[in-house]
Amino acid sequence: MNQKKVLVTGIAGFIGSNLADRLIAAGHKVIGIDNLSYGLKEQIAPEAEFHKLDIRSKDIYPVFEGVDTVFHMAAKNCLSDCQRDPVDTADINVVGTVNVLEAAKRANVRKIIYAESSDVYSGLKTFPTTEEKMQPETFYADSKAAGHFFAQSYVKYHKMNIAGLRYFNVYGPRQDWRRTDRPIVSEFIIQLLRGEKPILYGEGERSKDYIYVDNINDFHLLAMENSFTNGQVYNLGSGIATSFKELLDATQKLLGTKVEPELRPSLSFGVERTEADISKARALGWKPKTSLEEGLKKSVDYIKKYVIPKL
């Protein structure tokens, strides 16, 4: 194995910390940056070299020296927090992203892989969604689309090897359940484990494409080494739209519960349906290996052990 020096921004967060574990297990040397605004220090692998820094600061530049690959995951990404504070959203997600790209350029980093989001499609009503058209519809989505255009210009003007990843609904251990709006997978598991009535908005018909965190880490490791990904963007989802009702039913089946959900009127906010066309990622030999059932089971185990005792 060819050991590489890999830098992960947002290393204390959900995806960044899981990615760091995978990179370390694969034999790489991992360096992490996070300002701990959302992430937790205890989630960072002890083997990683950690720098408590803000991605908007020029103090990050020296940390990029000698780095082979950068995974840029740090972001402000709770949708309702972003709607409430577009200035902070743009500052972290646009200025912060450009600062990371600039740091990578100055240090001659070989490859940069950064997080976009399926939310860049939030205004589109065609499914499954391909990578061709973006139509962002929230401040968070706008900030991710702006990051995309800056990355494309770094590719064009500085010949950098950059790949953008449009994650759909990623779930799994360490998903940030503390945020203002709890992600739905964690929300249902927590409500059922605590004996609370799960809440279903509308008829529970809103559908999302859920992807287990290890599945996207498989793609991260592949993209690091694969030059076809340079200058490209990829959808990373399961390719299956699962309704909130189906998700709740699958969670109840796993937990052996049969609680009647509390029905509330449809949410006026957010996307009604997401479903990824993942053929471009599949063409590289990647496929999501963990099923929703297996992924939910791992999420339940994690929440039982680490989340419920803290509530």
Ligand X SMILES: NC(=O)c1ccc[n+]([C@@H]2O[C@H](COP(=O)([O-])OP(=O)(O)OC[C@H]3O[C@@H](n4cnc5c(N)ncnc54)[C@H](O)[C@@H]3O)[C@@H](O)[C@H]2O)c1
Sites of contact with ligand X (CB under 6 A): 10, 12-16, 33-39, 54-56, 73-77, 92, 96, 115, 117, 167, 169-170, 176
Nearer to ligand X, 221 or 259 (CB): 221
Nearer to ligand X, 179 or 259 (CB): 179
The minimum distance between CB 103 and ligand X, in angstroms, equals 12
How far apart CA 22 and CA 148 sit, in angstroms, is: 25
How far apart CA 267 and CA 181 sit, in angstroms, is: 13
The minimum distance between CB 259 and ligand X, in angstroms, equals 25
Residue of 38, 140, 167, 212 with catalytic role: 140
Question: Tokens 């509308």 sit at which residue?
Answer: 202
| Nearest Cα residue to 184 out of 173, 196, 199, 165 | 199
The minimum distance between CB 307 and ligand X, in angstroms, equals 14
The minimum distance between CB 120 and ligand X, in angstroms, equals 9
The minimum distance between CB 75 and ligand X, in angstroms, equals 3
Nearer to ligand X, 204 or 209 (CB): 209
Show the beta-strand stretches assigned E in 91-180.
111-115, 162-167, 169-171
Residues in the chain: 311
> Per DSSP, what are the bridge partners of residue 129?
276
The minimum distance between CB 231 and ligand X, in angstroms, equals 19
- Amino acid found at 156: K
Pair 5, 31: CB distance under 8 Å:
yes
Tell me the backbone φ, ψ of residue 134, rounded to 5 degrees: -110, 150
Is residue 140 annotated as a catalytic residue, yes or no? Answer: yes
Q: How many other β-carbons are positioned within 10 Å of the β-carbon of residue 41? A: 11
Structure tokens at 9: 């921004």
How far apart CA 52 and CA 237 sit, in angstroms, is: 31
Number of helices followed by number of strands (H, E) in the chain: 10, 12
Nearer to ligand X, 82 or 248 (CB): 82
Measured CA angle at 144 (ends 222, 240), to 5 deg: 60
Nearer to ligand X, 14 or 286 (CB): 14
How far apart CA 293 and CA 289 sit, in angstroms, is: 11
- Active site residue ranges: 140
